[in-house]
């Protein structure tokens, strides 16, 4: 018995010594994760608890509890990629019952409390569509049909694709472009958000929709991404970064600022999604246009990382910092170009700026982060670890 107690005391002593070494080491401040797969599954569960109602409505509690078609589309993509069919069906049912527009198969972008106890599309354009959300919803349905072997999802997607093509793409000089929504055109100008470009999705659409030439969107999109980064728009010069918004002249193909309130040429809240979307095209299809673009467009941000050791949430078109605040979403999507251009730096950002925001104790990214940041952290981690299957 005494011998047994002695062994126990020795083991306790060793463990105590090791713990002392650990808490005084560099590893004490690191966030540990079980695996990327565990992180994605666990944080999805927490995300549902925090942001998704039982009826399938995604609530952005950072914006007066509004619901957007974007938020619904992100939830649908995450559900199908994580293989959560029950949640997917609830989210999709709510989306089509509440956000589908009467006049077509597109979705109004902004929904919430309008007066008294009534809910519906919010004033000032809430009923208008957003082509990124429509695209992501259509893609999620095709992936769902593949994952769960149910062709009815793809049938519903084809109805959406018809109206995306008819109302959210336009020709200029014989070339077709995705515009920002049903509202984003007049006789002279198209309004374009480059972060809505999704060549990886268009290639899948081309596989299932025989009526429209989705592949015809790809080359014009890559050319416009390159041009919009190099041309000065409303600033003295461009350094490669895509703008949040821009306009395309229907008569001569000139690009410049959008010219509408709140639609700037900064690289920030919207444009930060570009490297993720283009990196997914590279990951899925090994399209050389994607690799070339990712290698060239974001050198200014890499310069900032080398110089300052960080990225901020907003940059001017010529690459100057417009904020001192860091953005988890911007770090997460930057993995798209860093993985191609500088894998060592991508690993550093992943470990120091992204994974440290995840807590094993809570099985979630920092609870205080808003829904947008949490979505893009999830998408960034999944992209980085190759866990976004084409199915």
- The confidence score (pLDDT) of residue 337 equals 98
Q: Which residues contact 212 (CB under 8 A, 6 or more apart)?
A: 161, 162, 165, 205
The pTM is what?
0.91
User: Strand 255-256 and strand 246-249: pairing?
Assistant: antiparallel
Structure tokens at 372: 């947008």
361: confidence class by pLDDT, cuts 50, 70, 90: confident
What digits encode the pLDDT tens for the residues 178-231? 999 999 999 999 999 999 999 999 999 999 999 999 999 999 999 999 999 999
**Least confident segment among 15-19, 156-160, 264-268, 285-289:** 15-19
- The confidence score (pLDDT) of residue 24 equals 42
- Name the DSSP letter for residue 329: H
Q: What residue ranges define each of the domains in the chain, with the CATH number in brackets? A: 37-384 (1.50.10.10)
The secondary structure element, H or E, covering residue 284 is: helix 274-285
Q: Is the pLDDT of residue 329 over 60?
A: yes
* pLDDT mean over 350-373: 92
Facing residues of 249 across strands? 189
What digits encode the pLDDT tens for the residues 111-123? 999 988 899 999 9
* pLDDT mean over 274-289: 98
CA torsion, ordered 279, 285, 287, 290, to nearest 10 deg: -10
- The confidence score (pLDDT) of residue 278 equals 99
Angle at 377 between CA 365 and CA 63, to 5 degrees: 80
What digits encode the pLDDT tens for the residues 126-169? 999 999 999 999 999 999 999 999 999 999 999 999 999 999 99
């Amino acid at each position: 018995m005494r011998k047994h107690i002695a062994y126990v005391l020795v083991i306790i002593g060793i463990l105590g010594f090791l713990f002392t070494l650990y808490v005084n080491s560099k590893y004490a401040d690191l966030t540990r994760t079980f695996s990327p797969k565990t992180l994605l599954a666990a944080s999805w569960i927490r995300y549902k608890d925090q942001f998704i109602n039982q009826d399938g409505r995604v609530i952005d509690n950072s914006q007066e509890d509004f619901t957007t078609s974007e938020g619904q589309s992100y939830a649908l993509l995450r559900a199908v990629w994580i293989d959560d069919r029950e949640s997917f069906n609830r989210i999709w049912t709510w989306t089509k019952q509440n956000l589908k527009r009467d006049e077509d198969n597109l979705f109004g972008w902004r929904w919430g409390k309008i007066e008294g106890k009534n809910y519906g599309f919010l004033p000032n354009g809430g009923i208008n569509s957003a082509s990124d959300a429509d695209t992501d919803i259509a893609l999620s349905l095709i992936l769902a049909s593949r994952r769960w072997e149910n062709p009815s999802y793809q049938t519903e997607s084809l109805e959406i694709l018809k109206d995306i093509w008819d109302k959210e793409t336009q020709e200029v000089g014989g070339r077709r472009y995705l515009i920002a929504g049903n509202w984003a055109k007049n006789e002279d100008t198209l309004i374009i958000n480059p972060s809505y470009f999704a060549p990886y999705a268009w290639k899948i659409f081309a596989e299932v929709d025989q009526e429209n030439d989705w592949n015809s969107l790809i080359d014009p999109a890559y050319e416009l991404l390159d041009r919009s980064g190099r041309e000065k728009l409303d600033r003295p010069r461009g350094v490669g970064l895509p703008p949040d918004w821009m306009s395309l002249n229907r008569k001569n193909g000139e690009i410049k600022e959008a010219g509408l309130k709140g639609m700037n040429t900064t690289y920030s809240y919207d444009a930060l999604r570009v490297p993720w979307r283009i990196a997914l095209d590279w990951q899925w299809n090994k399209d050389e246009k994607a690799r070339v673009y990712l290698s060239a467009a974001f050198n200014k941000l890499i310069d900032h990382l080398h110089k300052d050791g960080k990225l901020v949430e907003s940059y001017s078109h010529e690459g100057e910092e417009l904020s001192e605040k860091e953005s988890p979403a911007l770090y997460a999507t930057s993995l798209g170009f860093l993985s191609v251009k500088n894998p060592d730096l991508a690993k550093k950002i992943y470990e120091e700026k992204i994974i440290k925001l995840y807590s094993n104790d809570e099985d979630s990214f920092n609870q205080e982060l808003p829904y947008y940041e949490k979505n893009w952290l999830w998408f960034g981690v999944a992209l980085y670890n190759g866990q976004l299957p084409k199915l």
